[in-house]
């Protein structure tokens, strides 16, 4: 049975380091600790720490196995349910499909919520494909965009990670990024803070 990765993220807004200009593709390097995590060392320095963007040596929480997938727990009573396994009416630009109670990526389309959100707590669960035939950088590649601008990257076990930094932003939609990899989402809800 596949393991379902769960994510419950309390957010007041997110921001990723954004740089201008177009340079050559950064060189891919592996972490010094032998963990298999890979990233880049020739990218801009993050202003809040001593690491660069996508630095494979940047500290990260230890990976844990969440165990076998359980049925979704009910959302809190004050939550707005964005996807319950059937209803996708909370989303715009939606050409994704519902498969086995999950919202599955379709191509490069990015569905966005119809509502705008400021400060919030977002909960979602995702499942990368078990056997995706694609390039190394797209195995489970997807993301959640906060306010429709700042993406929290989701990779399915490739060792890549992107760690955003909280900032204060007014409001915007939540978007699920379609990167051509059939990632599935379920039990998506949000609470205004």
pLDDT-derived band at 134, boundaries 50, 70, 90: low
Span 10-19, average pLDDT: 29
pLDDT-derived band at 169, boundaries 50, 70, 90: low
3-class SS of residue 106: coil
Q: Can you give the residue range of the structural domain that contains 6?
A: 1-17+76-193
CATH value at residue 172:
2.60.120.560
Count CA atoms within 13 Å of residue 130 on its CB side: 4
Span 38-60, average pLDDT: 83
3-class SS of residue 41: coil
Residues in the chain: 193
Give pLDDT, residue 139. 63
157: in domain: yes
57: in domain: no
3-class SS of residue 76: coil
User: Mean pLDDT, the chain, as a whole number?
Assistant: 74
Instruction: Tell me the percentage of the chain whose pLDDT exceeds 70.
Output: 73
Higher-confidence residue: 89 or 181?
Answer: 89
**CB of 151 closer than 8 Å to CB of 30:** no
Give pLDDT, residue 23. 47
pLDDT in tens, 77-132: 999 999 999 999 999 877 788 999 998 887 778 899 999 999 899 998 888 777 76
43: in domain: no
Alpha carbons 97 and 19: distance in angstroms, whole number: 34
Span 151-179, average pLDDT: 65
Inform me whether the pLDDT recorded for 2 exceeds 70.
Answer: no
Span 7-33, average pLDDT: 49
Go through 154-190 and write b for each residue having 16 or more CB atoms within 10 A of its CB, e for each that does not: bbbebbbbebbeeeebeebbbbbbbbbbbbbbbbbbb
Give pLDDT, residue 26. 60
163: in domain: yes
Residue 19: beta bridge partners? none
**CB of 158 closer than 8 Å to CB of 139:** yes
Count of structural domains within the chain:
1
């Amino acid at each position: 049975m596949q393991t379902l990765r769960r994510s419950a993220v309390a957010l007041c807004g997110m921001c990723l380091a954004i740089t201008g200009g177009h340079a050559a593709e950064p060189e891919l390097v592996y972490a010094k600790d032998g963990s298999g995590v890979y990233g880049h060392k020739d990218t801009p320095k993050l202003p809040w720490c001593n690491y660069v963007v996508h630095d494979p040596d940047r500290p990260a929480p230890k990976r844990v196995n969440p165990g076998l997938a359980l049925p979704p727990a009910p959302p809190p009573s004050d939550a707005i349910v964005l996807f319950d396994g059937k209803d996708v009416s909370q989303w715009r630009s939606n050409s994704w499909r519902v498969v086995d109670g999950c919202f599955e990526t379709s191509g490069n389309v990015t569905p966005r919520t119809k509502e705008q959100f400021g400060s919030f707590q977002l909960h979602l669960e995702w499942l990368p494909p078990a056997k995706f035939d694609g390039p190394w950088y797209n195995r489970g590649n997807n993301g959640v965009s906060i306010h429709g601008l700042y993406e929290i990257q989701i990779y399915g076990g490739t060792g890549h990670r992107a760690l955003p930094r909280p900032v204060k932003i007014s409001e915007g939609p939540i978007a699920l990024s379609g990167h051509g990899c059939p990632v599935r989402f379920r039990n998506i809800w949000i609470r205004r803070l």
